[in-house]
Amino acid sequence: MKFFVDTADTSEISELNALGLLDGVTTNPSLILKSGRDIMEVTKEICGIVDGPVSAEVAATEYEQMMREADVLSKIADNICIKVPLTFDGLKACKAITGDGRMVNVTLCFSANQALLAAKAGATFISPFIGRIDDTGDDGMELIAEIRTVYDNYDFATELLAASIRTVNHVKQSALIGADVATVPPAILKQLVKHPLTDKGLDAFLADWAKTGQKIA
């Protein structure tokens, strides 16, 4: 599974990238707002930190303006992936942008039917929102499983990108189902390494080592 980090915080991105954990980055208007920075400036900086895809989202809702914004965002760096909403105008833009050889992440996916349309439109990535579906009382992981089945049935090249991840269990379940990518908030990504038995075992090893009175270096 590939790991994208879902943030526009360049310090967090740099820290995780230095560990060799990142395959890409996803941003959205809410994350840009949270960063407090200019979208062009911060996105360019992010593209210079990571080698993989960096999703930058259009703010327009109509096709013609989406295409104009996509052209502007694409000029930031070669690893820009244009993010568009899952609407008819968004799908039309997706088809045109990928037809030019550029990457597209179709976002705000909440059904397998929507994911099917995105794949037909040539999406590079589809982003189903697990957490937001869970918030409605439904099971977000069921959607991940449905999309995986649909895509495998027809050998679609579109990568299944599990988004709106709220817990470490969302990551595990996405990996078990076979999502190609998980885009994860920095805090959740850091939690993946943690386990109480790891901490307990390390404490025991360190205590025993201290009793030996030895030093390795």
Give the residue carrying structure tokens 């901490």: 199
- Give the Cα separation of 151 and 83 in Å (integer): 20
Q: List the catalytic residue out of 83, 95, 211, 215.
A: 83
CA distances from 78 to 44, 62, 101, 174, 202 (A): 10, 24, 11, 28, 43
> Is 83 one of the annotated active-site residues of the chain?
yes
What are phi and psi for residue 3, nearest 5 degrees? Answer: -110, 120
H-helix or E-strand spanning residue 118: helix 112-120
- Give the Cα separation of 25 and 98 in Å (integer): 19
Residue 126: CA atoms inside 13 Å, Cβ hemisphere, count?
33
- Give the Cα separation of 126 and 174 in Å (integer): 14
Catalytic residues: 83
